[in-house]
Structure 1
Amino acid sequence: MTENQVDHDRLFKELLETFFAEFMELFFPEAARSIDLTQIRFLQQEIFTDVTAGDRHKVDILVETSLKGQPGLILVHIEPQSYVQKNFNERMFVYFSRLYEKYRRKILPVAVFGYDRIRDEPDSFGITFPFLDVLNFRFYKLELKKLDWREYIHSDNPVAAALLSKMGFRPEERVRVKLEFLRMLARMKLDPARMELLAVFFETYLKLNREEEEQLYRELGKMDKKEVDAIMQITTSWYEKGRVEGRAEGRAEGRAEGRAEGRAEGRVEGKIEAKREVICKYLARRFGVDSASVQDKVQQLTDMDALDRVLEQLFAANSLEEARNIIWEELSRFTQ
């Protein structure tokens, strides 16, 4: 997916609507302590027309909530900005004005700058004369590229995990950032849908190339076995989900009703194939071309439990010979 094809607004909208409370608590803790984050409602997308410029602008994220201990409702307007735009601070004021005109409520404006460069974006817009300050409009701003990703890796906040991919890191740190993202996911133990949302967001902005993937697997081989097992369960589930959905979709086309048993069998086959693929990919990246004969043996494993046991033990293997023995032991169970 190219930069032009990425729907930045949709990605940020899904992330922040799913984890709105976590976002506010992480980046704007003072506001989060005053806002009732247990009672929130996302309002319909607002579209404004700029007659003079001939443009139509939309407000993607608009949250209705209240302040703790105070009567009345407030609005939180979050504006993700993925590209540099001249006079963006003025645009924030125009949005604020239009929203206030419609709702007549207190509005907390927040701008999230996610483009891949470091700038000093203003967080205010003013109109002043030598004799009178007419307007001093301010808003919260979050410039992701200015954040040090290392400061967030020990957090169990899902927004922090996803946004690691947009923070400030050097090119040579890409593998480490991906590794820490996986470790965060393993600690948080979210439900599959939320896990997938975070993974899609992260990999849209930080997708490793083949060489970096090989480096990632080498780093996994050096880590604690229990932690690696947790990470591999996550990555295996992604493989399984894609494989199972693809197979299920293919079987659904042109098949008559009454073949539920065949489809179930196909899904099991998809899971087994996915696990074999993960094992072979790890062997190739850990031990190189010398592991080809061992990978051939993996293809002979057709039992789900056996594959699970291999995955559990494989990351403790310090040599190709140890890995071969682990797989041979499982094969021997079915030939005795």
Structure 2
Amino acid sequence: MRKNEMAEQPESASTTWHDRIFKEFFHRFLPQFMRLFFPEEANQLDFDTLRFLDKELVINLPEQTLRITDVVAEVGIRTGGKRTILVHLEIEAYPKRRFPNRMFEYFALLRVLRQQSVFPIALILRPGVGGLRWQTYTEELFGREILRFHYGQVGIRDISGEEYLNSADPVAAALSMLMAADEAQRPIQKLTALQNIIASGLTDGDKLFLIELIGAYLPTADLVDLGGTVMEQIADIELTVFERMRRESRKEGLAEGREEGREEGEVLGKRLLLRRLLIHKFGDLPQGVTQRIEMISDDAVFDSLVEQALTAASIDELTLPELPVDVNEDANPA
């Protein structure tokens, strides 16, 4: 008999979207995340040795195939000489009843395959799971407990965001926008978080990512409209960041298209911007999508697609031009 505390939840169509966002988040900010939520353990880790295991781990069992597709990182221990451990982070939008069991299975497989100690963490993106805590998975046989497994849980929606917002840490400020808060205070909190990020010493790429993260989970259009300067300042910051992305893409496009003239460089820059946005949100692009982007040269179409890309949950929501029939059809050998 197996015990756990989580109830079954419906699977979200946007689970893959959540995964992509937070996989990139952890690749950028894993040390900061650990220091925020597991400070005692983080103090014992040497993040200068951090490296990510990028290959998907697939284990074929008789009745199922297990895939460890989220984030697995190797990091040294400060007092452990050359000893390293694994940090496994599972990103879950809607955890199912078997989720604790799956965390144990991943732990066991990593332990066996890599012969290293494993620190397991689950980031839960729905409310009602208990916030920051250690979860326990147990198994019993013949009335006797034969297994007790623990993993760290960050139920981010159940954590109060005020302390993190006011910590002067830009990563904490960004994550606080996913945490519990008074909806009436959201506009002011979002402005504070954006200002914190802009004023930080992060790279432009990291700043842009955190601002996009906030925009993805707390769109300005969903905020209580307070009117006045708060909403105007939020809009100004978001527009400034968006225009910076446009300019950088345009510069690269102009450099690539210099030999073919300025107009071609402008088009290349717009294509580059659109591809960057889509890859950032949806991962590697299918060949057909790339081909359809290459067909675009009209400014209005580019602007419309960039706006769509900022809010779309899937590539299918974009109004990309259709490929010619001869491109869509597979070649049939005679």
TM-score normalised by the shorter chain: which range applies? 0.5 to 0.7
Which structure shows the higher helix fraction?
Answer: 1
Deviation at 1:143, TM superposition (A): 0.8
Deviation at 1:211, TM superposition (A): 7.2
Partners of 1:104 and 1:190 in 2: CA distance: 35
CA contact (8 A) 1:36 1:65 kept: yes
Q: CA separation of 1:24/1:55 partners in 2, compared to 1, >3 Å: closer, same or farther?
A: same
SS of the residue corresponding to residue 177 of structure 2 reads helix
Deviation at 1:36, TM superposition (A): 1.2
Deviation at 1:86, TM superposition (A): 1.4
1:160 maps to: 172
1:22 maps to: 32
CA contact (8 A) 1:22 1:158 kept: no
Q: CA separation of 1:53/1:207 partners in 2, compared to 1, >3 Å: closer, same or farther?
A: farther
**Partner letter of residue 14 of structure 1?**
E
TM-score using structure 1 length: 0.64
Q: Which runs of 5+ in 2 are unaligned?
A: 1-11, 270-334
**Partner letter of residue 33 of structure 2?**
F
Query: 2:218 matched to 1:206?
Result: yes
Q: Which runs of 5+ in 1 are unaligned?
A: 222-227, 268-336
2:187 maps to: 175
Deviation at 1:59, TM superposition (A): 3.2
2:292 maps to: none
CA contact (8 A) 1:128 1:134 kept: yes
Deviation at 1:250, TM superposition (A): 8.3
SS of the residue corresponding to residue 86 of structure 1 reads coil
TM-score using structure 2 length: 0.65
2:68 maps to: 58
SS of the residue corresponding to residue 226 of structure 2 reads helix
Partners of 2:52 and 2:196 in 1: CA distance: 27
Q: CA separation of 1:101/1:262 partners in 2, compared to 1, >3 Å: closer, same or farther?
A: closer
Deviation at 1:132, TM superposition (A): 4.4
Partners of 1:4 and 1:133 in 2: CA distance: 37
Aligned length: 252
Decide which of 18, 37, 47 is 1:37's aligned counterpart.
Answer: 47
Deviation at 1:89, TM superposition (A): 0.7
1:257 maps to: 259
Q: CA separation of 1:155/1:105 partners in 2, compared to 1, >3 Å: closer, same or farther?
A: same
**Partner letter of residue 125 of structure 1?**
Y
Decide which of 78, 89, 100 is 1:89's aligned counterpart.
Answer: 100
SS of the residue corresponding to residue 38 of structure 1 reads strand
CA contact (8 A) 2:173 2:196 kept: yes
Compare 97-106 and 235-244 and name the one that shifted more: 235-244
Q: Deviations over 1:136-181 (max 9, x none)?
A: 1111111101111111112232331221222112433331231121
Query: 2:247 matched to 1:244?
Result: yes
**Partner letter of residue 86 of structure 1?**
R
The Cα RMSD (Å) is: 3.4
**Partner letter of residue 89 of structure 1?**
P
SS of the residue corresponding to residue 43 of structure 2 reads helix
Partners of 2:227 and 2:53 in 1: CA distance: 41
Deviation at 1:8, TM superposition (A): 0.8
Decide which of 126, 130, 135 is 1:123's aligned counterpart.
Answer: 135
CA contact (8 A) 2:134 2:152 kept: no
SS of the residue corresponding to residue 48 of structure 1 reads strand
Structure number with greater CO (CA < 8 Å, separation at least 6) is 2
Q: CA separation of 1:55/1:168 partners in 2, compared to 1, >3 Å: closer, same or farther?
A: farther
The aligned runs of 1:1-336 (5 Å cut-off) are 4-5=13-14, 7-49=17-59, 51=61, 54=64, 56-71=66-81, 72-115=83-126, 117-120=127-130, 123-129=135-141, 132-209=144-221, 212=224, 215=226, 218-219=229-230, 234-235=237-238, 237-244=240-247, 257=259, 259=261
Deviation at 1:112, TM superposition (A): 1.0
**Partner letter of residue 237 of structure 1?**
T
Q: CA separation of 1:48/1:189 partners in 2, compared to 1, >3 Å: closer, same or farther?
A: same
Q: CA separation of 1:142/1:52 partners in 2, compared to 1, >3 Å: closer, same or farther?
A: farther
CA contact (8 A) 2:45 2:76 kept: yes
